[in-house]
Amino acid sequence: MTLSSRVSSCLAGIRRVVRKPAQAAPLARWLARALWLRSQRLAELIRDRAAGRHRLASYPLGAWLATNGPKSEAVFAASGRVAPTSRCEHADIVVADDSLDGDDPAFKATVVVLSSAPKQFSVPAFDPLKVNPINWKPKVAAPVDAAEVTSESEPTLRAAALAARAATGAVVCITTDDHELRTVLGSELHDLMANTEGIAGVDAHELEAISIAMRRCALRDHSLRARARQVITAAGQQADPPTVSILLATNRPERLAEAVASVTAQTYPATELVLATHGDGFSSDAVAEAIETVEMPVRVVAVSATEPLGAVLNEAVAASTGELLTKFDDDDYYSTEHIWDLVLTHEYSQAELVAKGAEYVYVANQDCTLHLFGRRGERYLNYPGVSGGALLISHHDLAAAGGWRRVKSHVDTCLARDVTRIGGKIYRTHGQGYLRVRHGENHTWKINESHFTGRAAQRREGLDLVFAGIS
């Protein structure tokens, strides 16, 4: 309904209600004020939309931040939660262009001074809910020269534009040597972009791997939450990313050491291992030996062999303390960045359940590594098409879905269905960095190997971890 039609409707209502002229004046004044307030709000919305303020991120960043100066304001310009000190008197941390005078009211807060902080702190951060690889297609990865992305000469602004473009899954190429840009962009992301020889002439599979590496670096180092964590840490406060409990349920004592090694190789900094031994074949000495060198917190749960897999996982969840939960299979392979991929996906997709698809499969009986056809990621799903060995869900959302069903098999499919039943979303990210293994032994998913071999788009002989994105 348009504004004019609403006014006509109101006037018609007034004519029906008002019987005497004396009653019309108060209602007319009320209507005039209501229309004036509505017009003011509409004008404000138009101004905000023109300035881009309607797109400001409203989620918290881990501390109450304020800015002091045009450079610091630019760093957090994408956030509606960070305001100048003139409008935020009680901030925990102030990000200032230069040192503040002791008489400045903002001086009462902890101050992080950009002029003396790492140069990357001065790069404007992007909102990952708006800048991300959702609906990524291979054509997005077509290499683009940095000069085509931005004409900014100021290094921090140039770095911001390049990082934001990379976060969408684009492969950005830096063709000129620029040490200052490397400093503000970060050596890892800069070196990926500057490796023009490594980008030129690669096939689609290799180009996607480069795209994944770039988007991971950009999201991990230049998003709003990433920049906030950097600033909060510089202020001497705790600013870890969400804690992740890795649920490792196994009934194979012979695979225990290798499975634990996959967990400990993860680069994500805030993890704990919840080891659920399923059955009586695990000696206390073997378990102790497997976890003795693990530096992250470890919790061990022993579950009877008579319990189904779903019950084993529920026992592991009950022992966990992480905000997020992920599941590792004892016979699959994982890249060292696997958990980072899932956590970043959980952040930008805002989906209750995120996972990698099982795009890569090693068929042991045929000694070949397959890349399956039609398993493209970076999209929301309306069906439970995720791999149980590579999923992540929050502790809260798992509880809301009713936990793991007490079934022997298909526990992951059941969970995905239960998530959709409570109105949750499922999101599948890229499949690189996770290799499912079909070794012909005791799989909970009983299916013929032809299911994989008949759908393979690419085949490599032997166990090819590099091909699957696992170095």
82: phi then psi, degrees, rounded to nearest 5: -110, 120
Distance CA 396, CA 147 (A): 45
CA trace torsion 305, 310, 314, 316 (10° rounding): 60
Q: Map residue 245 onto helix, strand or coil.
A: strand
Fold of 244-461: Spore Coat Polysaccharide Biosynthesis Protein SpsA; Chain A (3.90.550)
Mean pLDDT estimate for the chain: 89
299 forms bridges with which residues in the sheet? 274
Least confident segment among 117-131, 278-292, 432-446: 432-446
Give residue 15's pLDDT.
56
Give residue 451's pLDDT.
60
Distance CA 282, CA 42 (A): 68
Nearest partner of 267 among 337, 332, 316, judged by Cα: 337
- pLDDT tens digits for range 3-24: 555 555 655 555 554 555 666 6
The reported pTM is: 0.86
Question: Which amino acid does the sequence have at 289?
Answer: E
Q: Is residue 249's pLDDT more than 50?
A: yes
For tokens 């999201």, the residue is 219
- pLDDT tens digits for range 255-271: 999 999 999 999 999 99
Q: What is the DSSP string of 319-356?
A: H---SEEEEE-TTSEE-TTHHHHHHHHHHHH--SEEEE
Whether the Cβ atoms of residue 429 and residue 355 lie closer than 8 Å to each other: yes
Give residue 349's pLDDT.
97
Whether the Cβ atoms of residue 248 and residue 275 lie closer than 8 Å to each other: yes
For tokens 């030996």, the residue is 289
User: Residues 342, 345, 347, 349: is their CA dihedral positive or negative?
Assistant: negative
Give residue 4's pLDDT.
55
Nearest partner of 71 among 35, 47, 96, 42, judged by Cα: 96
164-189 burial, b at 16+ Cβ within 10 Å, e below that, comes to bbbbbbbbbbbeeebeebbbbbbeeb
